[in-house]
Each structure stands twice: as structure tokens, then as C-alpha cells.
Structure 1
């Protein structure tokens, strides 16, 4: 047993999230992730308000005020409508997609896929890309579809469909995965697929992190003189440019404004 809280997170894409959450609560889950109703459902999470009512009626105690959640929903409803009207919110992300269970596409990955297809004017390729995802996943040794691997598999599937030739274009992240830089695949990648992606390069068989040089000393140096804690150093290490700007402006809002020394001499005046 542990004193740690158990938090369950899922998406409503396949239409099973509410059932999943109920069984999780019955099994002892402490926290479930939901979304306020204007932005709930589909690739998001089940609605907070509905979940609260259901759990309360079943005798469970929650710490969320139902009146406040209703007010929050009223506030965000018009904002959702505005995004729908402008096209910023694709209505397809709100659809129930039972076939996602067959295509093994998680909600967050599905949202990214829709955005990519829309930006490229290829929304008609949506179904073809969905069908390609499990094939790519099988080719790559069945990596778990969680960030960043889900985005990597989705991008490769998208490229395979749009180029009309499988693995004609291969992102560097996929190559690094096959090289072993993301760890060992759950299932060995077929030799012919490995050769197609990285040629005759050798695959890392050791723990990838053991090949990295210690980064903390360099982070500490790069974050100076604005870092005052380990958290500041890690902020810089994760996001060097943005992190340094954040830390610098916290100390001095003009920290990155160039300073020039100007010599000024006054000419003598004559009456």
C-alpha cells in the first residue's frame, strides 16, 4: 500500500470514459480528470458537472462545488461558441469515435492529427491516416502511444499517406527511436524495417541515458546570474531561450536591452 493519491486520466474519444471512471472510483481511485462541459467530450475528458452529479447520487463525496462549476460552464460556453464559429475548434474533436479502439489512437493524438490535416488541406485523408497508425505502430515494435511516441507514430502515418509511399519521408525522431535512443521497443523491430529506416547504423543496446554527458553543470553555468534555486536551473535546462528570458526579466525587465556607453562632452559657451 502507498499514501500516494491515484489519479486516473482518460479521454472520451471512444465513448467509454464515463464507464472507465466509474469503475476506477469503485476500485479506489482518488482523483479523476474531467473537463468543464463546454470543452468536454470527444478528445477531451468527460464533463465535470455530469460526473459530480453521478458520483454524488451514488453516495461518493467530492470536494467540488457544483454551483461554481455551473457558473464556470456558463462563462466558457460563449467562448466555445466563438471558437467554433471562427474555426478554431474543429467540431470533429467532439465526436464519439468508437473505431479509435481499433486504430489505437488516443484522444490527444487524434486532436493533433486533425490539426495537421486541416493545416495542410488534407482533411479528406483522415480515415486513411487512422488506418495507417496501427500499421506503423506494428512496424516500430508496438511502442506505447503516449507522448512523445504517439505524436511520432501519428506523424509517420501522416507522411506515409500524404507521400503515397510508406517511409519515403522519415522524421529524425523516428530514426532516433529505431536507433534505440528512446529505449528498447516492446517487440523487436523486423531487420528489414530497421534497415529501411536507419540503413546499416548500429542500434544502441545499452541504457540510452548512460550515453549522455552530465548536463546539470552546464545548465547551472548557463542560467547564471539569474538562477537562485535548482528549480530555476531546471527551468533553464528544459527551455534554454524562454527560460533565460523568464529568469532574466524576473530580475530586471530591461535585462536584455543592449547598453551602450556614450561619451558626452559639453562645448564651451561664449557670451
Structure 2
């Protein structure tokens, strides 16, 4: 639809290399098919990056993009650490050029690129290589505008900005400000600032519609200079901690993130590693013990399943998750068999069972479910039901909530407004702290399940039950996986704290649980 409305305007997307849009590596046949469909549906420019800056993980995607006639942009996911130097970025640039790219992007997702570092990096790349160079900076720390200006002085070919009404804080510097700054100089953009103001006015109204989903940041956040948290990750952390009733733990989590990042080999913090590191930091803080629970994706990094880390990972943690096995040293996708046919058959089967009508180009629906397995089918079930996705209407979102005369009971409620259901989180005293559209989705587990005789196994996090592994009456040993909880976009294994017999399983796949809910009992 966007391409129909803007046929002459190039559309660009981010593509996470072998991860595509997901949180795991996909086989090469899935990468190839996704790129083919994206180009067919109107995508022109693919900014291909890898969270580990491992060029092996970008190669298949870059080659697929070029083979389908689109623009392949290789990416340097910028970060700083004892392992990262100017030479690091020059070497990666050369490797991407050898792979075959149409341009290079410097992706400063955390806003930690200083103006002087931007000038040096752009100057050195342009001096050595004949390649179009773009710079992408987030405004979170307050340095982005200065970094863009110094990069322009150094010869960068393009920079990312956002229309003013959607700019700054977690996003990008304002387009209008840069246009005005460069007006009358050798870098004059030629853009009409009056026309830009019309665009800003339009999106100023659009933004109000999504008010309930905005993060807490109002200006700049200097904590990011230490934690290196990207803007999108910061909003995710705030949302995740609210869901866990632990919004007051944000500072502790931000302090824990650099420690987790070091344990994982000083990996850059960009999707999906930003979510992996952030979620592990949350787990470390909320459980009160570092690595008491290790998320599946954290274990994957330690095992080498995501590719090379800049420096070796924490040896003790790696040994713990390997359990005597060997780490992955080859390109991780080389270990994957073609999987598209199996994915297609599985999605068609599930769609038939649930009575879901697939789109005319069914492969698009297959790819949607493959890349978003936890919500893909729910999306397909509800794609013609706006109430399942749309936020609170603008007028209501803008109105302040009036406090009740009497303190309301805290909890999570579903309310109906003009025929649309919304989930409302009410804190002590009647304040509404969170409001989202309610999808007619999974059932909820009881707040307190019957424990029976024995030791209850409780939910360490709020989330959804992804899979129940243990069965009623099964004898388990200490450390055995009992079930998998999907929380904060990650899969967390819930293991037995002691040997025993499984009794009173109180949940099933798809159930929503809160912190402390009893999931089962070990007798």
C-alpha cells in the first residue's frame, strides 16, 4: 500500500542478516524467499546488519538483495569497548565491500558516536574506499545533531533524520533543524522547510493516537553513554519492567547491562542482541542472583549460535551452557537444513485447524508466522479485526484519567469502550498505568493455582506459557526443564530447583501468568 501511494519514493527497511526480522538464524532458503517477497511487495533498499558484526551472517542476505535487483547496504553496528578500535570498522568495511554491497551505513543505534569520532570514522572510510556512506544516529544522548554535522563536514553522503514531530528522544534528529542548519552552505539540501512543516503537522496529530505507548524519556539520557542502550531497547526495558511490576528497578538494570555485555564478549547492543542482553540483565536483577536463570537466547550467544563475538565470552558461563559440548565456530546458518517447505506445511496445517484464511500470496503469511512464531498466527486470526491492534482513539488518549474518590483495587481489567476491548492496568489508588488494545487471545492462568502437597514452582516473570515440558507424575532431577515461559520477547526455561515428582500442573501452552503464580508442584 505504501508503494502504491509513493511509487517514485524508494522504500527502505532494516534486515537483520540471517535473523531477518526474527530472533534466531533462519536457513538460507528462508532468507532468499523473504528478500524475494519483500522486493516484490515494493521494498527498494535493504540496510543489512548483524548484531555481532559478523560479515558471515550478512552475506546470504546481501547476495539475495542484489540478485533481486534491489539496493544492498552493508552496515557497521557502531559500539565502543576495549575490543573496538578505528581499525575494527575499517576491516569490517573492507569485508563488506568484498562480499558485495551498493553502499555502507554506520548505524549508531545508541547515540554514542561522538562528533570527533564521527568525523574521524567517516574521513578514514571515504579516504580509503570509493563507496557511498550513510550515517544513522539516535538522539538519546544529545550528541546526534553534532555527530551528523561533523560527518557531513567529513564527506558522508547521507544521514538519517526524522520529521520534527516524530524526532528526538528515542528517535533521530529533526529533519527541519538540519535543513535550516545547512541552508546556504555547500551542503544545502534544497528541501522546502514550509512543506516539511505541513508534514510535521500531520504526524503531530498521528502521534497523539499512540500516546499510551510512548516511553518516559522527555529530553536526553546520559546513562546511555555508559549502558549503551539503544532508544528502542530503552522503551522496551521500561515496558518490560512495568509488566513485571518492577518499574523502580530501571537504574539497577541499566547498571547490570554493561556487565552482561562484557560476559557476552562485548557484543554490540542492537536487535536482537540488545533485547537478549537487556532481558538477561532484567532476569539477573529480578531473581536477585546473576545468571540464576539464563535465557535461551543468552545461552545461544555463549554457544556461538549467533556467530563470532568481538572477544571471547565468559568461560565459566560458556562451560555451564555447553554442558560438555563444543561451541559453534562455523557460520551458524551452515548447520541449518532448508526449512521453508516444512514451515509452509506447518503454517498451512495450523491455519486449517484454526479456520484462518491465508492471503492470496500464502507465502507472505507463512513468512509472517515463521518470523513471529509467538504472535504471527494471532495476527492472521485478527487482521480484519482492528480492535485487536489499534490503540485507544486519539481524543480519549489525550484526556487525563480522573482519580476515583475511593482507592480502586489494583489489578488488570478488561474494559469495553464503544464495542472495543482494552486491557487496563490499575495500580493502588486508582491510577491507570498501562492501557493496550485487547486481542481475543490466550486464556489466563489463575492468579493462585492449587499447589497441593509439595514445593510450588512459581513464575519468576510475567509472560505467557510457551510450552509445558513436564508431564503429570513425571519424576524429574534437579535442573531438568519443566516448562518454557515466553517473557519480554525471550524464551526462559523454568527448571526444577530440586528432584521430585511433578504434581498439579496448573497451566497450559498459551496461558498468561503473573510473577509468583504457581505453575506446578514438585512432590
TM-score (ref. length: structure 2) = 0.41
Instruction: Say whether 1:19 aligns with 2:143.
Output: no
CA contact (8 A) 2:302 2:317 kept: no
Aligned residue in 2 for 1:101: 225
The change in CA–CA distance for 1:219 and 1:102 in structure 2 (over 3 A counts) is same
How big is the shift at 1:132? 0.4
Q: How well do the aligned residues superpose, as a CA RMSD in angstroms?
A: 3.0
How big is the shift at 1:197? 3.9
| Unmatched runs of 5 consecutive residues or more in structure 2 | 1-128, 349-357, 384-523
Per the alignment, in what secondary structure is the counterpart of residue 234 of structure 2? helix
Query: 16, 20, 37: which one pairs with 2:164?
Result: 37
TM-score (ref. length: structure 1) = 0.76
| Unmatched runs of 5 consecutive residues or more in structure 1 | 250-271
How big is the shift at 1:121? 2.5
Q: Distance in 2 between matches of 1:78 and 1:159?
A: 37
How big is the shift at 1:61? 2.7
Rg: which structure is higher?
1
The change in CA–CA distance for 1:179 and 1:238 in structure 2 (over 3 A counts) is farther
Q: Would you tell me which structure has more helix in proportion to its own residues? A: 1
- 1:142-157 superposed matches below 5 A: 142-157=266-281
The runs of at least 4 consecutive aligned structure 1 residues that moved more than 6 Å come to: 219-228
Aligned residue in 1 for 2:213: 88
Alignment length (residue pairs): 239
What per-residue deviation string (whole Å, max 9, x for no partner) do you get for residues 57-112 of structure 1?
Answer: 4342325332221012122224434544xx3223x233301221111212221121
Instruction: Say whether 1:130 aligns with 2:254.
Output: yes
What per-residue deviation string (whole Å, max 9, x for no partner) do you get for residues 192-240 of structure 1?
Answer: 1213444333212222121111345657888999898xxx868744644
CA contact (8 A) 2:135 2:159 kept: yes
What per-residue deviation string (whole Å, max 9, x for no partner) do you get for residues 121-162 of structure 1?
Answer: 222111111000000001111111121111110110111111
Aligned residue in 1 for 2:237: 113
CA contact (8 A) 1:13 1:107 kept: yes
The change in CA–CA distance for 1:160 and 1:219 in structure 2 (over 3 A counts) is closer
CA contact (8 A) 1:43 1:94 kept: no
Q: Distance in 1 between matches of 2:217 and 2:320?
A: 34
Q: Would you tell me which structure has more strand in proportion to its own residues? A: 2
